[in-house]
Structure 1
């Protein structure tokens, strides 16, 4: 599906995202198959590999409706309670126009100018510079802004950040990312469950079979076990572990692919709303490397304007780098990049430290004086002149 403009890019991105989301959902069944392999090996330890693969496939067919129902229940629970869970983690609280008139008016003006229903506005008490949007339907949509962002950015920059989050809501990114995080969470949960199940098994070298750690005994079995069957069990376990690892890796890759592409479109949508690419650029430069939310989970950080948490060699970074985002805004929106920016508070602190350091270099501390300071000079006497040889009690001797 070719894309030539902002809206066709959004439509094309939605189509690809739905395919990726369907693939993410299919990973649940891959994990079920891997779990069935482990279960078959645990139940029958002296069979050939073909036996395990055939019976695991049958188990998958039998477990298909139950796995689907379990995943659907998980999604339903998250649908109704995900905002409460996010607020519990971040401490975000809803604010009104009376509590935060500046922030509320900026968001309301943006929504009115574009005919967008106004989402709930939440404020998070944190010095970090970040914001994120959440919600799965119109009644749940909300934008959370940190107090640090509100203090560090001017009105135009805050408006650009709000436009970025509104674009996520308009494009359906919020719903998709929340569902993707939920499904990835299901994959991670079952993957860890099956991996723990596997690590609880051990190969019985004397009997040639698999047994759980709770059922191991010192009893020996006959040495004429089926070596071919034992080898099949080992291969089945290797395949199960490989499937678990592959499913987890693919779930992360799909989730990151969804997040990265949407951040660039949200930046472009913010420029479309505000008509001010420079404000979005300077906002990103100020937020750069200052958005870490100390108590937030990785799922919350993936929803933010910027996620400073980086994976191995940026392989698992959820957001494009600020440099690449700024470069896109300069190239396609005509903005101007001022380069990395220091916040006013940081600049004032650096200037104060520099002034104190230079003052310390210019004015050395006075040497100690007096009979108790270890100095050889006499202590100063009140009232004594600097050139007179007489003191208040007569001439010095």
Structure 2
């Protein structure tokens, strides 16, 4: 399966999971109520425990449906506010951190995306996340520690990772799972804090009154009452916590850890800087623990080392596994074939002749060529196909297909696709003037693989259109 096919499958899977998560979640608590009630009925030898359990489950289902009906539209409108309050994030103004804005704007232009909002968290922790449910409301949040520690290339790859989450609709699934559907864990945290605040206040007043009364046994009565209320509160906390834990597990199982590998691959394809992403992951490793008032939001983070049992309930793969996946990607793809082309998008419109490289004035922020030329290769790059017979390399062709598909060629007209292909060829031609220049054999191999990718795309579009 090619990278583009994996992305399309991930988008479709995330959409289906979002729908199923919202539709099935109201039945989780009633199911638990049914099992607990049925078990208690059997142990206590109550008559007809099945009917009693069904009745209790139906009541719980009605309550959950009412809660979901009320909370879903509210959560949809205030989800970003909830996330900001839970993480301590604030909106970054355009006159703040111009270095970050410059990198972010160039990256969004390269991706053909509408510019999301930028937010920051004032902390030395190194982390980032994307949030939002719809176009025009997406946001990328960075910690100030991340901004200070990473260099420009590393910061670009981290932001590219978060943009890939937006493109793959991962962010939508995570927000639905943690904010909209994760009402039980959220309510558990809030209710337990409120519950203990009330209990402790009442007990303090109770203890003060009875300690001052000149009656025999007052001190003992206070201690007994305090202990009884304390353990009753503990029992309630454990019961609600059990339901919250089960709800959290449902959310965790809905979130595939593969989404992080896909976002890393998307960042590499967008920035053409796999080594920078590896360096960023190494710097972030061990320094990513972010204080959150809602624990379920850890699934949104760039890296999270939450509590898990042998990785079973982890929402993120280990850093070492992500680095190894990127290194395998570097071996499988030819040098420089990660670089993306300026592409059309529904928000920015198709490519035009005025926006082609030849029509653009040179600037300090001009796009890099398709390949990396910081250092010459001592030997031919594996898989380019120029040693002996000139045959397209399947891995290289697959990478070019994935890169071109980010421009959504199926939504472009024939002439718009030709402009896209010309820009791709123009990007390769820039290698002639690179320092050091790319060898003619390598250029020929890149062109051959690009032409084969274009042929496959056009063939698939022709088959689709009949």
Which of the five TM-score ranges fits, normalised by the shorter chain? 0.5 to 0.7
Deviations 1:193-244 (A, max 9, x none): 9xxxxxxxxxxxxxxxxxxx99xxxxxxxxxxxxxxxxxxxxxxxxxx99x9
In structure 1, the gaps of 5 or more residues are 194-212, 215-240, 337-397
Tell me which of 115, 131, 135 is aligned to 1:134: 131
| Separation in 2, partners of 1:324, 1:76 | 38
Q: 1:94 to 1:247 in 2, by over 3 A?
A: closer
* Counterpart among 41, 63, 68 of residue 65 in structure 2: 68
Q: Which residue of 92, 97, 100 maps to 1:100? A: 97
Q: Name structure 2 gaps, 5 residues minimum.
A: 192-227, 230-237, 334-466
The 8 Å contact of residues 90 and 124 in structure 1, kept in 2 or not, is answered as yes
Where in structure 2 are the equivalents of 1:190-229 lying within 5 Å? none
1:280 aligns with 2:277: yes
2:171 is matched with which residue?
174
Distance in 1, matches of 2:127 and 2:35, equals 44
Deviation at 1:23, TM superposition (A): 5.4
SS of the residue 1:167 aligns to: helix
Q: Distance in 1 between matches of 2:78 and 2:187?
A: 21
Partner of 1:363: none
Aligned counterpart, 1:160: 157
Aligned residue number for residue 120 of structure 1? 117
Alpha-carbon distance change, 314 to 106 in structure 1, aligned in 2, over 3 angstroms: same
- Number of residues of Structure 1 aligned to a counterpart in Structure 2: 284
State yes or no: 1:298 paired with 2:295.
yes
TM-score, normalised to structure 1, is 0.62
The equivalent residue for 2:27 is 29
Measure how far apart 1:131 and its partner are. Answer: 0.7
The two structures have a TM-score, normalised by structure 2, of 0.54
Aligned to 1:83: 80
Return closer, same or farther for 1:64/1:93 CA change in 2, 3 Å cut-off: closer
Q: Which has the higher contact order (CA 8 A, sep 6+)?
A: 1
Quote the residue 1:322 is aligned against. 319
Are the counterparts in 2 of residues 132 and 305 from structure 1 also a CA contact under 8 Å? yes
Distance 2:320 2:132 in 1: 29
Shift of 1:37: 6.4
Give yes or no for contact 1:163–1:269 (8 Å, CA) kept in 2.
Answer: yes
Indicate if the aligned counterparts of 2:28 and 2:247 stay in contact, CA closer than 8 A. Answer: no
Provide the alpha-carbon RMSD of the alignment: 3.4
Could you say what secondary structure the match of 1:122 adopts?
A: strand
Distance 2:242 2:293 in 1: 25
Task: Tell me, in whole angstroms, the C-alpha distance in 1 between the residues paired with 2:258 and 2:326.
Answer: 14
The structure with the greater share of residues assigned to helix is 2
Is the alpha carbon distance of 1:52 and 1:300 closer, same or farther for their aligned partners in structure 2, counting shifts above 3 Å? same
Query: Are residues 281 and 289 of structure 1, via their aligned partners in 2, closer, same or farther at CA, if it must alter by over 3 Å?
Result: same
Aligned-pair CA distance for 1:256: 4.7
